[in-house]
Amino acid sequence: MTSAKLKTFGQQMKRRSWAEPWKIKAVEPIRMITKEQRARALQEAGYNTFLLRSADVYIDLLTDSGTSAMSDRQWAGIMLGDEAYAGSNNFYRLEQAVQDYYGYKHMVPTHQGRGAEHLLSQTVIKPGQYVPGNMYFTTTRLHQELAGGTFIDVITDQAHDPEDLHPFKGNIDLEKLGTLVEKVGAENIAYISLAGTVNMAGGQPVSMENLRELRGFCTRHGIRIFLDATRMVENAYFIQQREEGYADKTIAEILKEFCSMTDGAWMSAKKDNLVNIGGWLAVNDYELFDALRNLVVVYEGLHTYGGMAGRDMEALAIGIEEAVQDDHVRSRVGQVLYLGELLLDWEIPIVKPIGGHAIFLNARGFYPHIPQDQFPAQVLTAQLYLDSGVRGMERGNVSAGRDPKTGDHRYPALELTRLAIPRRVYTQAHMDVVAEAVKIVYDNRQQTTGLKMVYEPKDLRFFQARFEPLD
């Protein structure tokens, strides 16, 4: 190449993109049905995207849970399933992976995250106790309530403001926690329910510094910290990117350091851990482990499979190792950022900063004219499906449910539609299509009207509730 040509080449090369650290070996066809068909499907589903058939969905961003693509190594691992009822090889591989990468001493397998939440809540919550945490998650809080506990939100105020740019909006507000402990007494705190990242706040992370302070506080008061590690790998990525002193550490190192300051963790392995089904619960205290191991056989299965097949445990053990690789996490969160930045360029209201697993559209910003008891986020989720076959999920008033004491809607500050990105599944072109669909729905926002709820299940109503358009 001549030097002149080299120069032009050099200028072109100034733009340096990153790309996914994998190539595609198997594909699954998807198709878009017509607008009339989508309108019918939506009506039949009671305007609830949980009730749609997946065949009627074009790009499925309902959840990043159990929807990830497994690697060729994980699929090969499926063939290594040892389906012995007791003492399967795969259990020991899984136990070792949890110990190696999360650092806890003892592990109990469960069929998925809520199985682990059930066991933990029943074992460590005494009726009447309080469970402070960094914002509720639907199934987590319900299991805490079913065990007789009361969840208290002690997340930082910034988490409730979609515009606030704080880099660690998942942090616990130690003053709020201190006031609670002073009021009710440390003996009435079951444990701290700490999630990294915080799903309902928009996938926002917790800083290492915040946990260090929390650990100090809890040690002084004799309170245990249990971690919802469901998306903790993504949380570790944000620590690496945003927190002083962590830029040169690997995700694996950060993950282990974080977990070392907690007393145990529960996991929905369907997210970070890259499997379609599975979960686990891990603790350091042997006595607690023994109690959990006794309970798992009642609800999940023997303590060496906990509701998973041997092959599931093998895929999970491999997934745990793949999940903490820096290039994987960078491209996973990078794809979420790519979609979010397109929307921000077009000034569409989303939760900022962009979180780890999903884009959260701020439905209040779309529909200031729709009151919260006409479910603006449910409306937005339905509109997006209708326009483009893109399926998201409501994360607002419907998800928040009713206060068990007063029976009223909870009216959360955040009224959001979540577009969760499955891991290793969609391409950049899919993200472009999604962004353009959101833009069209935003442009048509003024003509849009509210919904009324016509069927309301008692628990976790968002899964099965049905709606009808208001006139």
Site stretch for ligand F0G (CB under 6 A), options 132-140, 145-153, 326-334, 337-345 = 132-140
Contact 467, 378 (CB under 8 A): yes
Six token digits for residue 212: 């260090």
Contact 204, 170 (CB under 8 A): yes
Is 391 designated active site? Answer: no
Backbone angles phi, psi at 395, to 5 degrees: -135, 70
226 binds ligand F0G (CB under 6 A): no
User: 232-242 and 326-345 are packed helices; what angle lies between their axes, rounded to 10 degrees?
Assistant: 80
**Given the complex with ligand F0G, which of 57 and 370 has the nearer CB atom?**
57
Q: DSSP E strands: which ranges in 298-391?
A: 358-362, 390-391
For 80, which DSSP code? T
Contact 96, 303 (CB under 8 A): no
Residue given tokens 């959990």 in the structure block: 292
Q: Which of 330, 395, 418, 445 is catalytic?
A: 395
Site stretch for ligand F0G (CB under 6 A), options 18-26, 135-143, 216-224, 284-292 = 135-143
Give me the amino acid identity at 444: N
Q: What is the CA radius of gyration of the chain?
A: 22
Distance CA 51, CA 59 (A): 16
Q: Which of positions 274-333 make contact with ligand F0G (CB under 6 A)?
A: 279
Q: Which of 271, 293, 364, 445 is catalytic?
A: 271
Is 100 designated active site? Answer: no
Site size toward ligand F0G, by CB under 6 A: 15
Is 101 designated active site? Answer: no
Q: Strand 225-228 and strand 393-395: pairing?
A: unpaired
Q: Which of 49, 74, 112, 193 binds ligand F0G (CB under 6 A)?
A: 112
137 binds ligand F0G (CB under 6 A): yes
Is 137 designated active site? Answer: yes
114 binds ligand F0G (CB under 6 A): yes
Q: Which of 9, 85, 286, 455 is catalytic?
A: 85
Smallest separation, CB 186 to ligand F0G (Å): 25
Q: Which of positions 142-171 make contact with ligand F0G (CB under 6 A)?
A: none
417 binds ligand F0G (CB under 6 A): no
Smallest separation, CB 312 to ligand F0G (Å): 13
DSSP-assigned letters across all residues of 131-185: EEESS--HHHHHHHHHTT-EEEE-B-GGGG-TT---TTTT-B-HHHHHHHHHHH-
Is 58 designated active site? Answer: no
Distance CA 68, CA 57 (A): 17
121 binds ligand F0G (CB under 6 A): no
Instruction: Show the site string, 183-202: x = touches ligand F0G by CB under 6 A, - = not.
Output: ------------x---x---
Indicate which residues carry an active-site annotation: 85, 137-138, 228, 271, 395, 462
Binding site for ligand F0G (CB under 6 A): 63, 65, 112-114, 137, 139-140, 195, 199, 228, 230, 268, 270, 279
